[in-house]
Structure 1
Amino acid sequence: MDPLSSLFWLFFIFMLIYPQMMFKFRLLQRYKCIKELEAERKTRVIVLIHRQEQLALFGIPIYRFISIEDSEEVLRAIRMTPDDMPIDIILHTPGGLVLAAEQIAMALKEHKAKTTAIIPHYAMSGGTLIALAADEIIMDKNAVMGPVDPQIGQYPAASILKTLEMKHADELDDETLILADISKKAINQVEEFVFELLKDKMDEEKARKLAKTLSHGEWTHDYPLTVKKLRELGIEVNTNVPKKVYELFDLYQQPVNQRPSVQYIPVPYHPKR
């Protein structure tokens, strides 16, 4: 084999192995940071972070959402946690499968010790459901949550029902009528689930009203519920995010092979004395 060919194959093997080595190294860093956070807060820390990642060799970006596999792992972590040990769940997610989010939320609610949802940037849709199940919500002052109104296919369930008000049933096709029936059931189911999460935290009438507001499509599905808005709605929010959470969050950053759109000197600046 000629030297050029040997060099090519060495480079190819390196390109295959290097990303896996870097991933393992980053994984060890994450575990170390999680252990430090657990020691600091004396809790079980569960991380549910969905950030853009890239496939090892080709750098193809992939996007992640709350899945059944996520709920399986979170429920397993909760089962492995003693009843008297508090749980911190760190959330960074656009949402995902409602069933999976509801399973996680129920498991958190049933845990006997204190549960805390920590949101460094955003927890939308199913992430909001999970956060509402916790005894305490800690958010960055600029972080957001979102409405939990169901989505049927590519359309909001509330918008599908709106078509029934705008047109007579005889003017609609069978598929639209079926979707409207599913939409009504989905909204009622989510409203009832949110009410169950909230009823022990506030007055029952207030919990019922808030559950309806969050699930009936009052806003678009990506509407940002800021700290201020959440407090106006009656949801208590703490903005004292532990510093270690940000350090852990940074370890989930996965650069994509493209020119960066945001750049800055990555060190903290301190005010001049």
Structure 2
Amino acid sequence: MRSISKITTGTITIALALGLMGCSPTRSNNESIDGSEAKKELAIELKFLQNESERLINKDGKIEDKTFQSYKNDFNLLSASISSTTKIETQSDSELKESIAQLTKDIDALTEKEYVKSYKKFNSSKTIYEVTLMNNMHDVIDATKTWEGSSNVSDSFDNKHFHSSEAQIKKDMGPAIDHINTVSKYKIELMQDEIQKHRDSFTKLQLEQLKKATHNFDLSLNNQIKSIQFYKPISGDYNVSRDFSYNSYDKYTNACVYITDFESNLGISKAGEF
């Protein structure tokens, strides 16, 4: 669990932005904990969220998106752990105020048994993955696979520019690459931050699978960028661009092996659908 009292607001800001707000060593879900202990631990988490919510509301200037994304994941994880329906989606002051107030009420209403159950769920690798990682992971899968209907930017670029002039290709090259960097590769950064933050709740094998999956997806996207950069009109040399496309697919399949095994072992139904 986090040790909040020794962390200054400035330190929290930097740590959240870098995704380094890791939990201190957590108990195994098989290790016994009584209701009063669980209540105390969840109260620490709630206090952290209350402080962060207040800081976001009273922000002086623009808050980095990574900072908000980290808070949103922390909030939604605690909310899901206590089976609350309250969620954070946007950085509006009204939503921040209302959501933290409701979450506080929901936690206060827990019974002793529910505190224990919620604490174990909060530290569960399955809950952490489903709440903080899975949506971005599946978005990245969709951005790197080559099936029809996917959001693979390199494939879309190829389909659009197969008969285009070199001038048109160069014009559209920058926006396509920017999209990969600011959407899919950014989501990988967010996932890597969350993996680091919750590293103590994953087994050694799970950490290895997550890290290798995100690394290979990142390499797949890098090859997409290279494929676009070397793209030539139909009359030019298409081999270099095509080779990068093949490499992108190879890295995608490597990543899918790791994430399929990871999700299957957690009993997640979506595993193997990609």
Question: Do both proteins adopt the same fold according to a TM-score greater than 0.5, normalized to the shorter chain?
Answer: no
Q: Given the two structures, how large is their TM-score scaled by the length of structure 1? A: 0.30
Bigger proportion of residues as helix? 2
TM-score normalised by the chain length of structure 2: 0.30
Indicate the structure with greater strand content.
1
